[in-house]
Structure 1
Amino acid sequence: MPRLPSTPTVLAAALLITLAAGRAHAAPFAYVPNQKSGTISVIDTETDVVARTLTAQGKLGKRLQAIDADKAGHTLYVVDAQNNQLVAIDPARDAITHTVAIGKDAEGVRLSPDGRALAVCAEGQHQVLLVDVASFAITARIPVQGRNPEHCEFTPDGKQLLTSNEGSDNIDVIDVAKHASGGVIPTSGHPRGAAFVPSTLHVYVAQEAANSVDVIDVGARRRITNIPTALRAAGITASRDGKRVYVANGGAGSVSVIDVATNKVIKEIAVGQRPWNMALTPDGKKLYVANGRSGSVSVIDTRALAVSKEIPVGELPWGVVIPQ
């Protein structure tokens, strides 16, 4: 009988599969794409250590711009900007399962709420690409009315898609079924990350140039208020209970905590250098913040509103995704 090769890749894959099988009801893994390393760090959110580093068997480029994942954590979706492609990765096997060419200067990727489509914000192309998850083919190329769409965010019902247009200080509101932009909403300056309060059409959008967050009612197509945060607000995420919004301030090296009921900052927490994109655990007890210039991820205890650990990862981590 032939023997299976005992390579580090095979052993690591077997370990990850074993860990995942025994953690069906435990905290999931957090995945961190390291832009300049061309790797993805896998953090065990129970122990807050790097359990494994994915390389897709050395096939990833050195500009990993964005990441999302399906709810089960079976597939990661990553923008490989060096190779101008969107890749689907099976983390258990550390292998690329699908690729599709997306052209130059693509920045953000977001999986639709129903898990059937991926939206890619092609910043330099001034358009959004829709990719069918099953076939991994581009089904639509949607021009935006603004300039340089960087982040894509679906409304909770998946019927509309927002783009943060850095070059025109506004947000496109795209009708997903019609494959067309229905107009733009002005913002305070250089919109970046966006997060909806669950089950609402209220979206919080980080405004990098304004050092603040705009609160926008997408249904009414108007800005409700602007919340001062700190220098160069960039990444943003909302708690599942809709009570808090967290904002990564890239220039300040901090995370602002917004109370949704009052739309006021209740705490600013120091983290690493150039914090960017973040993710919460499903129970909301931990927030993982990628610190680009520190090469680390800060873990914030959301009850104490304090950093509990800093985890070294690769070079220039872009963000964090936690399947849920």
Structure 2
Amino acid sequence: MTIRKTTLALFVAQLALIGSANAFEAYASNEGSSSISVIDGKTMSVAGTIAVEGKPRGIVISNDGKTVYVSEQTKGRLLVIDTAKHKITKEIPLGESPEGLGINKDGSLIAAAVERLNSVLVVNTHTGKVVATIKTEGENPEHAEFSPDGKWIYASAEEDHRVDILDVKTGKEVKSVEVGKRPRGIGFTPDGKLAFIGCEMDNSVYVIDVASMEVVKRIPAGLRANGIVVSPDGKYVYVSNGGDANVMQIDVAKLAVVNTFPVGKRPWNMSIADNGKYLLVASGRSDEVSVVDLEKGKALPPVPVGQRPWGVVAH
């Protein structure tokens, strides 16, 4: 009897693990079809679509997975989406042509890069109000990301060759760091020591030491290096190469490329799902989210979504 109970308990536990496998949800912002695709991680397929008037671009998700925030370019607003209802519940004005979004660790603040204002706007998610407008030295900020400790916002200047470092507490820029031409995606290691910047016209990734605010390494990447995402354990950084239809894996300890994965056309922004198991890539010219199994080190069948996906987030 004891053996049977033990066996049954193990069987139930195994079923629970199987049921929780791939139990994530992802959201892709499709600027070409004015929609957000909801991806079921269990089936790796689209489970729903949220209509958005205009061009949804930058996208982030709260730590509890209950809220998705999306920048909408044509009307210059931040959309707040309830993930349980798959419904837009609020709109917050940002200004002309908002692009990339960043969210701080506790989810209380959103940083929005607003191109035509040459500024990063900081939004309090509890009040839904803009609490700071920080001018950037670089022209046309494309991405804005919080450092893990929440002290800094790094903003990449699309029409420039610099990353602006903004002090969250004072709401002012403290330094502008020169990198390669047309910087795009930004990612920090979890310990907050290094920042990685994808530079599109330089075909490279620049590494900034956060403490000194200086470039410490230039890593050659692929054609039109773009999106950046860091693994949860901080061991690897991934850069999407828009002109090569691939993603490169950078070893943080070596600061060198160690692997390359084929993905769809014009890979753009990315996310890591299921605690580091899957890499999700918005492949804009393939109208799909490409999927890489990072544990097995191989590409999986892509997930067809809307037209020209700009970004993707997972929880």
- After TM superposition, the score normalised by the length of structure 2 is 0.91
2:119 to 127, 139, 145: 127
Q: Which runs of 5+ in 1 are unaligned?
A: 1-22
Bigger strand share: 2
What residue in structure 1 maps to residue 300 of structure 2?
308
The answer to whether the aligner puts 1:42 opposite 2:43 as a matched pair is no
How many percent of aligned residue pairs carry the same amino acid? Answer: 39
Native 8 Å contact 2:71 2:101 kept in 1: yes
For residues 222 and 175 of structure 2, what CA distance do their matches in structure 1 show?
A: 29
Shift in Å, 1:35: 0.6
What residue in structure 2 maps to residue 12 of structure 1?
none
The answer to whether the aligner puts 1:319 opposite 2:295 as a matched pair is no
Relative to structure 1, is the Cα distance of residues 252 and 182 closer, same or farther in structure 2, using a 3 angstrom cutoff? same
Shift in Å, 1:103: 1.4
- Secondary structure at the aligned position of 1:129 is classed as strand
What residue in structure 2 maps to residue 236 of structure 1?
228
How many residues were matched structurally? Answer: 297
- Secondary structure at the aligned position of 1:124 is classed as helix
What residue in structure 2 maps to residue 274 of structure 1?
266
- Secondary structure at the aligned position of 1:115 is classed as coil
For residues 231 and 207 of structure 1, what CA distance do their matches in structure 2 show?
A: 10
Considering only aligned residues, what root-mean-square deviation do their CA atoms show, in Å? 1.4
Per-residue deviation, residues 246-292 of structure 1 (Å, max 9, x unmatched): 11001111101111111111112111100001111142111111100
What residue in structure 1 maps to residue 153 of structure 2?
161
- Secondary structure at the aligned position of 1:174 is classed as strand
Residues 215-226 of structure 1 aligned to structure 2 (within 5 Å): 215-226=207-218
Shift in Å, 1:201: 2.3
Shift in Å, 1:113: 1.2
For residues 69 and 267 of structure 1, what CA distance do their matches in structure 2 show?
A: 28
What residue in structure 1 maps to residue 47 of structure 2?
51
For residues 124 and 215 of structure 1, what CA distance do their matches in structure 2 show?
A: 27
Relative to structure 1, is the Cα distance of residues 50 and 114 closer, same or farther in structure 2, using a 3 angstrom cutoff? same
- Structure 2 counterpart of 1:212, one-letter code: S
- Secondary structure at the aligned position of 1:41 is classed as strand
What residue in structure 1 maps to residue 290 of structure 2?
298
Residues 4-23 of structure 1 aligned to structure 2 (within 5 Å): none
Query: Which segment drifts farther, 110-119 or 172-181?
Result: 110-119
Shift in Å, 1:95: 2.0
1:175 to 167, 179, 192: 167
What residue in structure 1 maps to residue 27 of structure 2?
31
For residues 278 and 108 of structure 1, what CA distance do their matches in structure 2 show?
A: 12
1:118 to 105, 110, 114: 110
Native 8 Å contact 2:21 2:42 kept in 1: no
Residues 49-198 of structure 1 aligned to structure 2 (within 5 Å): 49-55=45-51, 60-198=52-190
Per-residue deviation, residues 185-217 of structure 1 (Å, max 9, x unmatched): 110221100111111220111010110100110
- After TM superposition, the score normalised by the length of structure 1 is 0.89
The answer to whether the aligner puts 1:262 opposite 2:254 as a matched pair is yes
